[in-house]
Structure 1
Amino acid sequence: MQQPQRLFDFVEYQAAQRPAGVMLASKINGAWQTISCKEVMQRSRDLASGLLSLGIAHDRLEPEQQEKIAIVSQNRPEWLITDLAVQQTGAILTPIYPTVSPQDFAFILKEAEVKIIFFSNSELYERFRPAFDEIPSLKHIYTFDEVPGVDHWSQLKPTAEGEQQREAVCDRINSETIATIIYTSGTTGAPKGVMLSHRNIVSNVTDSAPLFHFARKDDRALSFLPLNHIFEKMVTYVYIRGGLGVYYAESMDTIGDNLKEVKPMVFTCVPRLLEKVYERIMAKGHELTGIKKAMFFWAVNLGKRYDNIKRGSAWYRMQLALANKLVFSKWREALGGRVDAVVSGSAALSEKLIRIFSAAKITVMEGYGLTETSPVITVNHLESENRRIGTVGPVLKNVEVKLAEDGEILCRGNNVMVGYYKNPEATSREIDAEGWFHTGDIGVWVEDRFLKITDRKKEIFKTSGGKYVAPQVIENKMRESPYIEQMMVVGPGRKFVSALIVPNYAQIRNKLKNEGGQLPADDEALVKEDSVIKLIQQQIDRYNPEFGHVEQVKKFVLLPSEWTVDNGILTPKLSIRRKVVEEKYKNEIESMYETPVVD
């Protein structure tokens, strides 16, 4: 395959090589419907022609002059077809998370001066409709579903003139042309628009693709992470490059069913989703009785000890082989029965989960990157020699990484963004004169070639005694407990470290019910129960010895409500907005420091 220069080149190549092969698929009216490589290419060309007929300025390809076209949609074939079409008009696709606040929605559209926007359905259209009057640049609104009173995207029909313009524009588009502006949600401040060129994303696709050597042409991948996120978008082009059909899950609630139907060989996820899969499996395990229950937890305990490098004794390996046949084979069946790898990113994944799933022959390829790096910087490989549990893997080919004196991870390469849109000051703060992008993450090398993330530079804090504390390390470790759902360590400028904890109510109810406890049905009342507080204290006491004295959690408060994107506590990437949490729960935090700790 000739090295492509632009993202739509991958589709053009597949349309020529395997025109009838499946490229995209979605479930409509209860049945999976596929779209061939040739059809995806033609639909994107036709849509580009129709868009150009609206009068999109296509004679200049500098970021400030390029038209901006937004999309607010869940994953579906129309999303990618729109992405491909916009690229071929010389405009810039500006995707917006469906869960973004109306305020951030208006901010993004105004700053980017969006002219055209696509919505997937009436629900999203109505949600953001009040902001339309605030966007003077907005001229056209289209929907993928039929919505009364709104133009349907099928009205954008190709014309002879539009096709001539499309061909002329494509001839001028090169690797330096901006392909997309992705606004990072961030945990503080206004969103920043990350400008990514074709070279940025294509280089990351090309350099990541060899790691998917296990993927067979004409096989399937399941997609459910938001395409607004560069991780899922980039990996989608890896799938396309490799000739895999991309099947879009119906929703987050149907992933289990869709996995069984599609039987993919690979999918991407964020840690929270894999944790929920594990929790559901464990819940079923607790429902078992007798020998079946004993066998289930025997297998899980074997999995917790798994290490792909230190493979254990012959006796351990023999037991693990038996566990795979009797127990873990059912786990694989629940994921469709053919998954070779799960690629995890966005946040740290519990080592325990990596060990257990990998022991069950569901290899977890944990990686690391940012929107600004298109995104992959490092990733663990499928083969054992290039995979280390507890790290985010070796550096991707053609990407440079070094650690600053304070441990901050710096990255340089073709994958590093062009800059922040209309924000040269922020660009110069993050990319230094030598081209190194400052990630804001702290890391260390393991065995001189595997990167391990230890914390966010901005989230490390000092206690009143002047001691540094890295909260994410503590949070990630303690969340290995089945009874701790979410956790945020607090203590900047305080005498000791404390924590806000959202318990895993299902696991707690199951355990205490089995022990004969009478529990209130209401979660708000549950967190006040002495038995629940005692159980969480036992978890804290279990993990505290793994940390230095100053890092140990001395007090905690249990919270009755889960932190979500909808309630504004999590970003769309599921990162905690720490400032929001501190403000929302300031009384609870203060209550932990009203009385001193007796050590």
Structure 2
Amino acid sequence: MSTDTLAIRAEIEQEIAGLTLPAALARTVETEGERPAYSDKVGIDLSAGYAPGWRTVGWAALRERSLDLAGALIAAGVRPGDRVALMASNRIEHVVADLGAVHAGAVSMSVYNTLSPEQVAYVAGHAEPTVAVLENADHLARWERGLGATDSLRTVVLIDAEPPAGDDRFVGWDAFLTAGAAWRTEHTAELDARIDAIAPDDPLTILYTSGTTGNPKGVVLTHHAVLYECACSLRVAAPTQHNDFISYLPFAHIAERTLGMYIPQVNGAHIHLIADPALLLGALGEVHPTRFFGVPRVWEKIKTGISAKLAAETDPEKRAQVERALAVGLEYVEALQHGGAVSPELEARYRAADAGLLSFLRALLGLDRCEWSASAAAPMPLEVARFFAGLGMRIYDVYGMTETCAAVTSCGPDQFRLGTVGRALPGIEIALADDGEILARGPVVSKGYYRQPEATAALIDADGWVHTGDIGELDEDGFLKVVDRKKEMIITSSGKNIAPSNIENHLKESPIVGHALVFGEGRPYVVAMLTLDAEIASLVATQLGIPTGTSLAELAQHPAMLTVAQQAVDSANERLSRPEQVKAWELLPVEWTAESEELTPTLKLKRRVVHAKYADVLERLYA
């Protein structure tokens, strides 16, 4: 470890010495108590679109509700270290339930809403929660098998659903919270003692990874690890104002949990909770956040929508004006990269382009106030990053995993390079193994997988290095580039090593391509399966003269749409080496979603699932 890394780590360790999340929240309430903490749209009729109006709770009131919930949990028999499972959308009650569990000395577990009943039963049987907090009837149905998978569950709290008759394990949210408030009035000292007994190295949460292969594994994260992550992330992100943030990814996702739950408890912010990601664009237009995080698929969807509208412009002069402005924006952002400098001449041209058009385009997206925008969870296609650079936006790529409390490297205002995921966060070490695997070490590292010592030993070696499973490259300035997943690298029958995500990102640059999977393991050449982006495909179909109302399955077989898909493949192949080029492909008549199991809840491909589900397609492509 370098002297600088050691010194910075010591500084941060001093900042958070002895701190737990309840203590951090209490400090924030002292300074931010009357400021808004969380807002949501629960109970508002959204049938006519993204209606105005929010439920809002301030920081002081949020803590009070959380203490009531903690009291209810303790009265229900929750002991220190017990697990409390949560399945709910992004809403105020989800945050209150999580904080209530933490203040009761328990370990919170947000579970993905999209898990199948079988997967829920596995998690319930493995984690053995004492209490489950569920939002609605759908979640209750998903937990039906889970409720029988363990004897540990004594209480099930239902936020919106009606408690089933004849089973005293079930209780409604309002009744549970009211009982907790009554318990607190008589047991204040007991609750205070429970909070005071929480130690920095105690587990804070267990997050069951979404699992691209096999059963999910429960990642144990401590108060200390999470608070270190918050502190070093804030150093790189360098917020300059009280922030407005939109939370729309599941709280079972470590990035959303860190950005939408943990960091705000440390420094205060106003978080707008979006229950349905489909409402994200409307929320952006209403909130105009100062900070925004999106997985690559979200940025791709935004880019595709803008590109489709720009392409529809029939006035050649207006199109040329937009293209000139985007070119200046890209030149400006590229000059801001590490080691670069913006000349006075470029500064003037950018200010003119920004005042004339770029700021207007960002405002249309709701990103005009955004001082920090980021991407993680999968490689960001370079062309997508360059597109937003054209709008004058730096998308700060971040790299990490649940097992490291989210980020271990990041771009930021003072460390930015396109095509990379930044440099190591303060006090964190990054290295490459002999085979190129990315290794990480530092205070953010998980204690390991819950009740899985063999998997933990495979994750963290004797020297404390986390083996990420990703292949990377480090440049001379310490900027990391992620090549692909180690286990997903393709080795063709001729021995060529190929990174499939690179090819897939080129294919997805076509507006009509929703998802792409490249295959070629042990085969003589590379093939691809493509799916349509339903929204954009319908717009393109109209431009091609295909009748309105044509189904997605019919579009996937239409000659005009197949021609557009072929153009996407040809365009990708022009930028690839010969072994990487796609020799055969098929446009599938379906969409891939988390519900249909081809994607994880964070929209990453489940390659093995796709390989098995579409084995017949792969065979046809090699016929």
Please say whether Structure 1 and Structure 2 have the same fold, judged by a TM-score greater than 0.5.
Answer: yes
8 Å Cα contact 2:208-2:252 kept in structure 1 = no
Q: Distance in 2 between matches of 1:469 and 1:247?
A: 41
CA distance in 2, matches of 1:434, 1:98: 36
Note the alpha carbon deviations across 1:112-155, whole angstroms, 9 max, x for none: 11121001223322343354233322211112236354522232
1:560-584 CA-to-partner distances (Å, cap 9, x unmatched) read: 2121101000011211111111111
1:511-563 deviation line (CA, Å, top 9, x unaligned): 56545567981332322333333332232222224332212111111112121
Q: Which residue of 2 aligns with 1:197?
A: 222
Cα pair distance change 1:325/1:250, threshold 3 Å: farther
- Is the deviation greater in 161-170 or in 503-512? 503-512
Structure 1 residue 242: Cα displacement:
2.5
State the Cα distance separating 1:18 from its structure 2 match.
2.6
1:284 to 304, 309, 316: 309
Can you list the C-alpha shifts for 1:182-213, whole angstroms capped at 9, x where unaligned? Answer: 10121111111111111111110111112332
Change over 3 Å in CA distance of 1:500–1:406 after alignment to 2: same
**Distance (Å, rounded) in 2 between the aligned partners of 1:95 and 1:504:** 30
Q: 1:522 to 1:450 in 2, by over 3 A?
A: same
Match of 2:450 in 1: 421
Which amino acid counterpart does residue 395 of structure 2 have in structure 1? Answer: V
Q: C-alpha distance in 2, partners of 1:592/1:301?
A: 39
Q: C-alpha offsets along residues 1-49 of structure 1, whole Å, 9 cap, x if unaligned? A: 9636212222100111232122222234352232121111211112111
2:355 aligned with 1:333:
no
| 3-state SS in 1 of match to 2:482 | strand
- Residues 282 and 137 (structure 1), Cα distance of their counterparts in 2 relative to 1, 3 Å cut: same
Cα distance in 1 between the residues matched to 2:541 and 2:342: 35
User: Aligned pair 1:155/2:175, yes or no?
Assistant: yes
1:73 to 88, 92, 95: 88
Correspondence 1:113-192 to 2 at 5 A: 113-145=128-160, 147-149=162-164, 150-156=170-176, 157-158=180-181, 159=183, 160=185, 162-192=187-217
Give the Cα–Cα distance (whole angstroms) in 1 for the partners of residues 118 and 211 of structure 2. Answer: 14
Q: 1:514 to 1:314 in 2, by over 3 A?
A: farther
Partner of 2:11: none
**Whole-angstrom CA distance in 2 between matches of 1:172 and 1:394:** 37
Please name the residue that 2:233 is paired with: 208
How far did residue 351 of structure 1 move? 1.5
Aligned pairs for 1:268-279 within 5 A = 268-279=293-304
The equivalent of 2:167 in structure 1 is: none
Matched-pair contact (CA < 8 Å) for 2:89–2:250:
yes
Specify whether residues 317 and 543 from structure 1 end up closer, same or farther in structure 2 by C-alpha distance, changes over 3 A only. farther
Q: Does 1:229 align with 2:253?
A: yes
Conserved 8 A contact 1:303-1:355: no
Distance 2:531 2:23 in 1: 46
The 2-side partners of 1:513 and 1:67 are apart by 56
**Unmatched segments (≥5 aa) in structure 1:** 59-65, 595-599
CA positional deviation for 1:484: 2.4
Note if contact 2:516-2:529 (Cα within 8 Å) is conserved in structure 1: yes
Matches for 1:457-472 after TM superposition, within 5 Å: 457-472=486-501
Q: Does 1:43 align with 2:65?
A: yes
After superposition, where does 1:301-340 map in structure 2 within 5 Å?
A: 307=334, 308-309=336-337, 320-336=350-366, 337-340=368-371
Quote the residue 1:451 is aligned against: 480
Distance (Å, rounded) in 1 between the aligned partners of 2:347 and 2:186: 66
Counterpart selection for 1:52 from 74, 77, 94: 74
Cα displacement (A) at 1:92: 1.0
Does the CA contact (< 8 Å) of 1:44 and 1:82 recur in 2? yes
Amino acid at match of 1:186: G
- Find the aligned partners of 1:340 and 1:215 in 2 and give their Cα distance: 9
Higher mean C-alpha deviation, range 576-585 or range 284-293: 284-293
CA contact (8 A) 1:215 1:265 kept: no
- Distance, in Å, in 2 between the alignment partners of 1:211 and 1:458 is 31
2:6 aligns to what?
Answer: none
Q: How does 1:512-591 map to 2 (within 5 A)?
A: 513-514=542-543, 521-591=550-620
> Counterpart in 2 of 1:442?
471
Counterpart of 2:272, as a letter, is Y
CA drift at 1:390: 0.1
Q: 1:546 to 1:133 in 2, by over 3 A?
A: same
For 1:315 and 1:517, the matched residues in 2 are separated by: 48
- Per-residue deviation, residues 356-395 of structure 1 (Å, max 9, x unmatched): 2233233311101100000111111024xx1000000011
CA distance in 1, matches of 2:540, 2:350: 27
Residue 18 of structure 1 pairs with residue 42 of structure 2: no
1:295 and 2:317 aligned? no
* Alpha-carbon distance in 1 for matches of 2:187, 2:385: 50
| Amino acid of the structure 2 residue aligned with 1:191 | P
Task: Tell me which amino acid in the other structure corresponds to 1:492.
Answer: E
Question: Partners in 2 of 1:286 and 1:451 — Cα distance?
Answer: 34
Question: 8 Å contact 1:194–1:371 — kept in the other structure?
Answer: yes
* 1:58-96, Cα deviation, whole Å (9 max, x unpaired): 3xxxxxxx2111000111122222222111222111210
Q: Select which of 394, 405, 417 maps to 1:388.
A: 417
Deviation string, structure 1 residues 450-482 (Cα, Å, up to 9, x no partner): 000001000112111122221112212332232
Q: For residue 292 of structure 2, what is the aligned residue in structure 1?
A: 267
Q: What amino acid sits opposite 1:348 in the alignment?
A: P
Deviations 1:216-243 (A, max 9, x none): 13x4212112111111111132233222
Cα separation, partners in 2 of 1:586 and 1:578, compared to 1, 3 Å: same
Q: Please, what TM-score do these two structures have when normalized by structure 1?
A: 0.92
Query: For 1:73 and 1:438, how far apart are their aligned partners in 2?
Result: 32
Q: Which amino acid aligns with 1:168?
A: A
Question: What is the deviation of 1:163?
Answer: 3.1
Secondary structure at the counterpart of residue 282 of structure 2: helix
> How much has 1:264 moved relative to structure 2?
1.6
On the 8 A contact 1:391/1:452 being kept in 2, the answer is yes
Give, in angstroms, the shift of residue 161 of structure 1: 5.3
Quick check: 1:215–1:244 contact (8 Å CA) kept in 2?
A: no
Match of 2:123 in 1: 108
Cα separation, partners in 2 of 1:275 and 1:334, compared to 1, 3 Å: same
TM-score by length of 2: 0.88
Percent of pairs identical after alignment?
A: 32
How many residues are aligned here? Answer: 584
Q: Counterpart in 1 of 2:439? A: 410
Shift of the alpha carbon at 1:411? 0.8
SS of the residue aligned with 1:458? helix
Q: Are 2:36 and 2:59, in contact at CA under 8 Å, matched by a contact in 1?
A: yes
AA of the residue aligned to 1:488:
L
**Matching residue of 2:503:** 474
TM-superposed CA distance for 1:507, in Å, is 4.2
Post-superposition offset of 1:508: 5.0
Mapped partners of 1:313, 1:557: distance in 2: 48
| Mapped contact 1:221–1:239 kept (Cα < 8 A) | no
Q: In the superposition, relative to structure 1, how do residues 259 and 517 fare at CA in structure 2: closer, same or farther (>3 Å)?
A: closer
Aligned twin of 2:10: none
- Bigger mean CA offset, 576-585 vs 28-37: 28-37
Segment of structure 1 superposing worse, 325-334 or 10-19: 325-334
